[in-house]
Amino acid sequence: MNDTLLSNDAVMRQYDYIIIGGRSAGCVVAGRLAANSEASVLLIESGGSDTAIQEIEHPLMWA
């Protein structure tokens, strides 16, 4: 097992909420839960690679 990965138990102890999917609803839910400064929220998104979009690969292009 990769040493950089946390075990399921370690993740469950570290976060109050784990949101799977960062699309529109997932981001809203995570944002509202994170608005409570006492809550610890993990948002997991498994989207594809964005390397074909220059503005994402090189964010300084937005400046």
pLDDT category, 21, cuts 50, 70, 90? confident
Could you give the CA distance from residue 53 to residue 62 in angstroms, rounded to a whole number?
12
Mean pLDDT of 28-41: 88
44: nearest Cα among 1, 4, 15: 15
What's the mean per-residue pLDDT of the chain? 77
Name which residue leads in pLDDT, 47 or 16: 16
The domain limits of the chain are 1-47
Q: What is the pTM of this model?
A: 0.56
> For residues 46-60, b (16+ Cβ closer than 10 Å) or e, as one string?
eeeeeeeeeeeeeee
Residue 32 binned pLDDT confidence (cut-offs 50, 70, 90):
very high
